[in-house]
Amino acid sequence: MADIRFDERVAIVTGAGVGLGRSHALGLAARGAKVVVNDLGVATDGTATGSDAAQAVVAEIEAMGGTAMAHGADVSDAEQVADMVAQTMDRWGRIDILVNNAGILRDKTFGKMTLDDFAKVVDVHLQGTATCCHAVWPHMRAAQYGRIVLTASASGLYGNFGQSNYGAAKAAMMGLMNVLHLEGARDNIRVNTLAPTAATRMTESLMPPEALELLQPETITPGLLYLVSDDSPSRTILGAGAGVFAQTRVYETTGHFVEGDITPEAVAANWDKITDPTGQEELPDAFGQTRKFAKRAAEAKGVKLDW
C-alpha cells in the first residue's frame, strides 16, 4: 500500500496547542501538509490563560522542516473563525482538511450543573464544530474536495457520569456527520467522526498511571490521518485508543407491526419482537427508516407499496 501523504494539502486543526490536537497537527505536517494550528489558549474549563501553545506547535513543525501558522480563534465565535479561514486562504489559497478537535470540560452531575455550564460546553463542542465546518464549506465545494473530521467521545456514544453537557455535545457529532456526509458527497467532501480515548489534560485525573502510559495521543493520530486521506471513507465513526481501532455503528432492529389497536399495552406485549436483533441493519438516512416502517405496515395489511 502506498504511503498516505498530504503534500500540497492545507489543514486546519482546532485545539491544536496541546494533547490530541497537537499530535494531529504534527502528524499532518510530518506527512507534508501545511497546517493551521488553532488554539485559543484556555484551561480545560474554557477560561483564558493567555497560553502561547499554538505558536509553540508551529515552532515544532517548522523545526522539522514543515510549514504552519498559528491562529487563536475561539471556535464558537463566527467572526474569529471567519478571520482564521480568510487568513488561511490569503496565505495558501485553499483548505483541504478540517479537524475539529477543540473542546472544554465542565463536569458536574446534572442536578448540580448550572445551565450556563451546560450551554458553554455545548457551544464550544457543537456550535464551534458547526461554525468551523460552515466557514470552510464553500471553499471545499468550490475545490470539489474536502476532508472533515468531527470529534466525538464514548461519553456521547455510551454515556459517562457527570458529563451530561459534554455527552450531549459529543452525541450530536453523529447527527451532524450524517447530514454533512449526505450534503457533501456530490462535491467530494467526506465527513467522518473520531471517538478517541486518550491521555490528555482532560483525562489525566480520571485514569491510573498505567492506562495513561498506554493511551498516548500519538496512538490515535494514525486513525485520524486515515480519515482525512484521499482514499478515506465517509460517514464513519472510528473509535481509537492505545493503538486499538474500532468502528462504531448504529443499528435498528427489523421491527414488528402491532396488529389491532395500537396501544401502549400492545407495545408492551410485543416488546420481545420489537427488540429482537435478528436481521437488524444500518439505515442510509432518515427516510430509510420511514420507508421501512411504511413497507412493514403495508406488508402486514396486504397493501402493495412501491416506495
Residues with catalytic annotation?
166
Whole-angstrom Cα Rg for the chain: 22
| Helix pair 19-30, 53-63: axis angle to 10 deg | 20
DSSP 20-39: HHHHHHHHHHHTT-EEEEE-
The residues, ordered by sequence, that sit 6+ positions from 279 with a Cβ below 8 Å of its Cβ are 253, 254
From residue 86, alpha-carbon distances to 25, 36, 90, 229 in Å are 19, 12, 6, 23
How many other C-beta atoms lie within 10 A of the C-beta of residue 262? 10
Cα–Cα distance, 191 to 177 (Å, whole number): 6
From residue 196, alpha-carbon distances to 84, 219, 221, 235, 297 in Å are 26, 10, 9, 16, 40
Least Cα distance to 76 among 22, 23, 132, 30 occurs for 132
Cα–Cα distance, 290 to 153 (Å, whole number): 28
**CA-based torsion, 3, 233, 27, 131: positive or negative:** positive
How many other C-beta atoms lie within 10 A of the C-beta of residue 281? 12
How many other C-beta atoms lie within 10 A of the C-beta of residue 111? 6
